[in-house]
Chain A
Amino acid sequence: MNNDGIVWEVLNNQFCSYKVKTDVGNLCRHPHNLTGRCNRKECPLANSKYATVRETSGRIYLCLKTAERAHIPSKQWEKIELPKNFAQAIEVIDNNMQYWPNWMIHMCKQRLTKITQYLIRMRKLKLKNRSTLVPIKKKLERRERTREVRAEAAARLDQSIEKELLERLKSKAYGDQPLNVNEAVWKEILEGDAVEAESDVTTEDELEEENEYELDSAKGGFAHEFVSDDSDLENDGDDMEDLVGMSASEFSSADDDEEEEDEDGEESGSDDEMSEDSDAMDRSDKRAKGKRAAGSAPRQKPTKRTKKHGPRVEIEYETETVAKDNMLTNW
């Protein structure tokens, strides 16, 4: 039934699917092959008495094949699990292969050594926590790159930082004697507080207005915009009055009061009262708001105003940005 000679004849001279021909010689791919070489002596198929050592999922087995079981292919191989201890495993091999050819015993032991060594190495590597390679998702990167730029634009970093810093300064987060503020500026803020405490007369609208103004200037824009004077033709008379003296027009005085309040707030309390007393309330309010914008510029260069320009410079603060700012916090 099983003639080793005939099997070898066929495998060697006709065809063997496990055979690999290389420059070094013929090699064998059969999992039961003891050495990996292809020859008559070491062929697992053409030998009815054969032994090998195999590893499956970390366990090592000694596999034995004898001529007595050659007629039952399903029970052809005797599989003996070897103990984890290397010395004991060697002993088991010795016991089970007492009268086997010496070279086969020797090869089995060599194979056992090799397997135990690579198992140890595998376990060590597993414990070692090696770095893994993570793919860079190009599409994600690209998408995020553009989104990042847009988010940065939406963040308006400088403005938000400036706003936060001013808030901290005004809420006295830096203490009573802050080291990071110029003395003059600190005085200004303290005085501003005092004024606020004094004049509770200011309406909510005005307060809002003030905040807006602060925001605007806080934005660091200092965006005065110089507007052509053709639209202000009808206001020219007022300006002339301005020039001559403050006495005549109520709103010009009102706007100056406002700016006092904003800038240093020294006498603003009394001025405010004055203006409010003297005029019809609504009118002065409106005027004040209208001219508030004119605030800082003429104060900075009073001489210029009288000499060169004559008419006042109207400054427009863009408030659209304020709306956005609110949105940032009140989404």
Chain B
Amino acid sequence: MNNIATSEIKNKVKRGQIYEKQRTEKGKAKRLRRKELKKEEAENPELREARLRENVPATQENTREFDEAVVADADEEVANEEEEDEFAQYFSGQAPKVLITTTPKAGKQTVNFVKELVSVVPNLEYVKRGSKFALQQIIQFCKNREYTDLVVVSEDHKEPTHVTVIHLPEGPTAHFRLTRIKGGKEILGHARATSHYPELILNQFSTRLGHTVGRMFAALFPQVPEFQGRQVVTFHNQRDFIFFRRHRYVFKNSKRVDLQEIGPRFTLRLRWLQKGLYDPVNGEYEWSYKADLETSRRRVFL
């Protein structure tokens, strides 16, 4: 009788009762075990440390597939190459001068988004897009007027969906999918922006491609931030999603910073990167998204 497995018990009510009993007992045992563990670890914190050190859950980040393109911390070759790339001029002190425009006949939401961006990036100039000129002509105009970057926001169904960033005068051109836009005012408890140049945080741009993209974002902002504004703009790359945030911070003490979001917030995802200036026909693609590339979730490109 005692040897009968619970699942074999024919009486449904009885079976349920026994299951319930087993469940509570299991929970009780677990709670007891945890309590004891806690006690032990309170006495001897090394145990806790050891446990935590050993018990590391596998995440997509720490099980990431090996990628040759990941740049080591002190990679001289990359550093040398970066000294000579298209952004070298910016990093040697050239002041950024950025123009932003949209696709022709932009809707209200798109224009609002552009205005938010204008408040974020200093020296960003918005020019309304007419239908007269093609993008390649506009690039030429910008080059003649010595702009360092051109940003184009494209829309679909009157909503901004893509952002193209073109570094001038020699490229590269990056095209991003734009999602989850939240304007500053939509954010609960948002702070107000000031016109100070913000600080920049570029997080986790690890590969060669990531470096290029990160440098591209950096090149939009003035090199020397105005720290008294206590504004920080973040481009955080996680699993190829680039999260944009802007905060005001305050150092409470030597261990604590408080953040208040200013907004806007949005997410970018790289669709392609072209080597030179934007050229849809003959352009040389350094990288472009293809479904075939997505062999695993643990494969990350930026």
Contact = CB atoms under 8 A, between A and B. Distances in A.
A185 B251 contact: yes
Contacts of B39: 231
A323 B56 CA distance: 7
B253 interface: yes
The prevalent SS among residues of B at the interface is mixed
B234 A145 contact: no
A217 to B, nearest CB: 4
Interface stretch (A85-93, A99-107, A149-157): A149-157
Interface string A130-155: 01100010001000110110111011
Given A154-B238, A165-B249, A319-B52, A136 B156 contact: yes
Given A145-B179, A162-B257, A181 B42 contact: no
A161 B52 contact: no
Nearest to A145: B179
A327 B61 contact: yes
Interface stretch (B141-149, B212-220, B240-248): B240-248
Interface stretch (B23-31, B163-171, B224-232): B224-232
B254 A160 contact: no
Contacts of A324: 57, 59
Interface residues of B, number: 62
A161 B253 CA distance: 16
A140 B258 CA distance: 37
Most chain-B Cβ atoms within 10 A of its Cβ — which of A166, A169, A180, A323?
A180
Given A165-B257, A181-B251, A290-B43, A160 B241 contact: no
Most chain-B Cβ atoms within 10 A of its Cβ — which of A131, A148, A327?
A148
B33 interface: no
Contacts, number: 144
Most chain-A Cβ atoms within 10 A of its Cβ — which of B179, B249, B254, B297?
B254
Nearest to A144: B269
A217 B103 CA distance: 46
A214 B255 contact: yes
Nearest to A155: B238
B256 A290 contact: no
Given A154-B238, A180-B230, A188-B254, A129 B61 contact: no
24 contacts: A136-B156, A140-B291, A144-B179, A152-B267, A154-B59, A154-B239, A160-B236, A161-B201, A161-B232, A161-B249, A162-B249, A162-B259, A180-B229, A180-B230, A189-B254, A214-B255, A231-B38, A290-B45, A322-B52, A323-B55, A324-B59, A327-B56, A328-B61, A331-B64
Interface of A: 128-129, 131-132, 136, 140, 144-145, 147-148, 150-152, 154-155, 157-158, 160-162, 164-166, 169-170, 174, 178-182, 185, 188-189, 192, 213-214, 217-218, 220, 222, 231-232, 262, 286, 289-290, 314, 319-320, 322-324, 327-328, 330-331
Given A165-B232, A180-B227, A181-B251, 4 more contacts: A214-B255, A290-B42, A327-B56, A328-B204
